[in-house]
Amino acid sequence: MRAEGPGTAEGPGLYVYAVVRAGTPLPRKSGGVGSPPAPLRTVGAGPVAAVASAAPVPLRPRRRDLLAHQDLLTQLAVSGPVLPMRFGMVAPDEDALRAQLAAAEAGHLAALDRVAGHVEMNVKALPAHDSLAALVAGEATVRRLREAARRRPGYEADVRLGEAVASALARRAGEAGRRALRDLAPMARATAGGSEVPGCALNVSFLVAQADSDRFRATAERFAAAHRDHVDLRIAGPLPCYSFVGTGTGTGTGAGPGGRSAPAPVGGG
């Protein structure tokens, strides 16, 4: 399915969604970023191909564009391994894209082999903001400061109390998050510390065999339910393997400032 025709507003440049193995079919119903969704095409170079569309102008991180990017990657994954591009990558033209694919072919193929049959599961440990009562009950310092603030109300007392609450929330979430990481890592082929997300105590992605993703999620959900007073554990996935595409052609898995990247191989079961 090749659609070279111009959409509405599009400028020079090709928005690149993913690198796949040559011959991977485009999902029939998917469109690309832009409004209306840009028609998709593949740009092949030997054994690998890029999925691309005209880059809309202006290209903005709008909700529907983020979802279009995400949805397309997900649907592509049905037909084979996918190396997701980061949102917003634009190649100057088709020739440049082909040249890049050819130059990085070995790395792309190795990465495709690595993620084949796997999905990414992301786990975030957020402070359990809904469990303030449990926190007060469980944290002597907070309880003491709360009593102090009630006996002698005032700005200083409230700041001290609030600071203690915030730090206890973060500490509890971090501790529970690390326990979750220990429990979940054995089910993953690799783990990758995620970027720092404000307010998030722990952000880790797991490379999980597709067949194990249900079990992984069930385990994570059990942990979340058992520790809800300590941590708001958010589990997302199965996802395209965003965090496991490092090929040496870029900085795909470059650890952000908050990246507590556990060394990759955990030994899959």
Window 74 to 113, contacts with other proteins (CB under 8 A): 74-75, 77-78, 83-92, 96, 100, 104
Contact residue for other proteins among 171, 178, 234, 260 (CB under 8 A): 234
Please say which residue, 39 or 192, places its beta carbon nearer to other proteins. Answer: 192
Residue 57: Cβ within 10 Å count: 13
Contact residue for other proteins among 21, 41, 114, 146 (CB under 8 A): 146
* Binding positions for other proteins, 112-131, rule CB under 8 A: 119-120, 122, 124, 126-127, 129-131
Q: Which of 244-256 are b and which e, b meaning 16 or more Cβ less than 10 Å from the residue's Cβ? A: bbbbebeebbeee
* Binding positions for other proteins, 18-57, rule CB under 8 A: 19
Read off φ and ψ for residue 99, nearest 5 degrees: -60, -40
Contact (Cβ atoms closer than 8 angstroms) between residue 81 and residue 46: no
For residue 185 the two structure tokens come to 């890592």
Q: Specify the DSSP element, H or E, that contains 111.
A: helix 105-115
Contact residue for other proteins among 38, 40, 180, 200 (CB under 8 A): 200
For residue 118 the two structure tokens come to 């796997």
Contact residue for other proteins among 23, 46, 186, 256 (CB under 8 A): 256
Measure the CA–CA gap between 181 and 231, rounded to whole angstroms. 13
Considering only 1-9, 39-47, 159-167, 179-187, which stretch makes contact with other proteins by CB under 8 A?
159-167
Instruction: Give the binding-site size for other proteins (rule: CB under 8 A).
Output: 94
Please say which residue, 35 or 179, places its beta carbon nearer to other proteins. Answer: 35
Please say which residue, 191 or 213, places its beta carbon nearer to other proteins. Answer: 213
Q: 56, 89, 59: which is closest to 73 by C-alpha?
A: 89
Considering only 2-10, 177-185, 197-205, 261-269, which stretch makes contact with other proteins by CB under 8 A?
197-205
Task: For residue 209, state whether it binds other proteins (rule: CB under 8 A).
Answer: no
Mapped to the 3 state alphabet, what secondary structure does 137-184 carry?
A: HHCHHHHHHHHHHHHCCCHHHHHHHHHHHHHHHHHHHHHHHHHHHHHH
Least distance from C-beta 182 to other proteins, angstroms? 22
Q: What's the one-letter identity of residue 48?
A: V
Read off φ and ψ for residue 245, nearest 5 degrees: -110, 10
Please say which residue, 46 or 256, places its beta carbon nearer to other proteins. Answer: 256
Task: For residue 149, state whether it binds other proteins (rule: CB under 8 A).
Answer: yes
Task: For residue 250, state whether it binds other proteins (rule: CB under 8 A).
Answer: yes
Task: For residue 8, state whether it binds other proteins (rule: CB under 8 A).
Answer: no
